[in-house]
Structure 1
Amino acid sequence: MEKKIITISRQFGSGGHEVGMKLAQKLGVKFYDKELVDMLAKDGKYNADFIEANEEKCSPPMCPVMPGFSMPVFYQDLPSDLIYKGQSKLIRTLAERGPCVVVGRCADYILRNMNPVNCFVYGSLEARVNRKMSMIPEGLSFTREEIKKRVIDVDKKRAKYHEFYTDKRWGRMEDYDLCVNTDKVGIEGAVETIAAYVEHCK
């Protein structure tokens, strides 16, 4: 199997992170998800807390629009702009080093000129809430409604972020090479499905 660059976009709670990690292990390639936060923080421009607070989110404007002007009279990069620019450069650099699996962060768009295999991992809202409920750390307590709200809110933020920085609609079937429902095949099945698809990609 020819090793390729694979991007994983995912609904919150669908298991996209685990799918990406296990896929990278199966294919023997590098895996990048939350590791990107630490790698970007090592540059010294931003700390990890700042990155985590602002990545995959659209920040509110930091500059006013004056009456009579359609654009702000001055402009400062938004926190999300700074993170997007930094992560974009980092993701391209890592992909240029060799085949890898990258989760989220508009990697499908950032690496569009490198012929990646773009996958979208999704599932029903009920299944995703169940998955997140099962992952609540011992000693913490959240209601099902609180988790459901969290799942919906994170997806909205991811969609808004992706659509703000790219010309594509997050989650639209036509914008991906393969969409996999983990409700149907589970994590291992999703890994096997993507690996089989990649094997036949030109």
Structure 2
Amino acid sequence: MKKILEISVFAAVVICLSAFLLIGCQNNKNLVATVNGTDITEEQLQEQLNTNAVFKEVISSHIDDIATPDYKEITLKRLDEQCPADRDKAIKKLVETAYFLGMDNSISKDEAEKQIKQQLDDLDAYSGQYDNVKVNREIMNECFEKLSTTEEQYIKDSADSYIAMVNRQRMYNKFIEDENLVVDENNSDKVRNEFEQYLDEQLKKADIVYYNS
């Protein structure tokens, strides 16, 4: 069950980390990048870095509850990847989110909000049965509090980023299929690295402009 929780925690991290990425800031032209016409502003970047710091702090404080000793090191490593404190790495995450949000055949915002709410409802439904799921719910609530947001606002704010996450998974699945790969626990990291290299190549083909700031 802890392994399942680890996966669900990182799914939640991906959603929540991006909750503030592509909203507001329409009049702020202090740009750090544009991706296929979508602006990424300095204000959005700072919000991203702040959110990263909150999630890293909260999840790290619960690490013994969400990962077995065998998975603790890899969990912390992936947490660093998902919650970069480095400015350039955070910009790269924002660029990826904007890129995936612009893909064709995306789910609607209404559907994204519905799926996010269902995930949170599932945490509530199983928190009474499994202690580690209860911890997952506590992590979410603590992050909401530290970010001064509500669950309802979080669902609305994270819809775009959830759509991007779904599209990223679609690309990953297609990559696996096209390369005729079978992924298991022995090669998952290797395949993930290969996919990241493939994604970097796709991003090079996109209309991305970076600005000095």
Same fold (TM over 0.5): no
Question: Which structure has greater helix proportion?
Answer: 2
TM-score by length of 2: 0.29
Question: Which structure has greater strand proportion?
Answer: 1
Which of the two has higher C-alpha Rg? 1
